[in-house]
Amino acid sequence: MKKIILMLVLTVFMAGSAAAQGGLVSVKSSHDVVTTANRLESALKEKGVTVFARIDHAAGAQQVGQTLKPTLLIIFGSPAMGTPLIQRSRSIGIDLPLKALIWEDRAGQVWFTYNAPDYLVHRHGISEMGEAVQKMEQALSNFAMAATLP
């Protein structure tokens, strides 16, 4: 019962701090970019999800003499979850593995942004994958909460 109440409270909190636009879900983080990324990677590894890469866009900008607020891209995935989608439509492979962009806006607010799975399957014309998409949506929501909540 306590878990159900906690999940309801977290869902209400996430609804108030998340925004979806153009197939992207953005969740406000209570942490800086590096801490949010580290928390995400820890949560992923704890669940056995592979972290393929961590790309520091700000470091890349600095290498060419430009500036960019902190911006990290974490690429991660699970072949057990992604393979059935790729079997249905090879083109979804351009969007898999999954990605989370953790970035700081001009006001200093840190955001955790990811592609909404329902948007991805629609984009690639996949149907009849409702359960897999729901599992992916729930997993991404859980990882976002683990990374962004206090």
Is 103 in contact with 135 (CB distance < 8 Å)? Answer: no
pLDDT tens for each residue of 97-133: 999 999 999 999 999 999 999 999 999 999 888 888 8
Question: Full-prediction pTM beyond 0.75?
Answer: yes
Q: For the CA atoms of 76, 81, 84, 90, what is the dihedral angle to 10 degrees?
A: -10
Indicate the SS3 state at residue 108: coil
Give the list of residues 6+ apart from residue 68 with CB closer than 8 angstroms, or none.
Answer: 57, 58, 60, 61, 62
> Residue 15: what pLDDT?
43
Give the list of residues 6+ apart from residue 61 with CB closer than 8 angstroms, or none.
Answer: 67, 68
Backbone angles phi, psi at 68, to 5 degrees: -155, 135
> Residue 19: what pLDDT?
62
Is 30 in contact with 149 (CB distance < 8 Å)? Answer: yes
Indicate the SS3 state at residue 16: helix
pLDDT tens for each residue of 23-68: 999 999 999 999 999 999 999 999 999 999 999 999 999 999 999 9
Angle, helices 130-148 vs 79-88, to 10°: value is 140
Of 132, 33, 40, the residue nearest 84 (C-alpha) = 132
User: pLDDT at residue 144 above 70?
Assistant: yes
Domain ranges within the chain, ordered by starting residue = 2-148
Fold adopted by 2-148: TATA-Binding Protein (3.30.310)
pLDDT tens for each residue of 63-92: 999 999 999 999 999 999 999 999 999 999
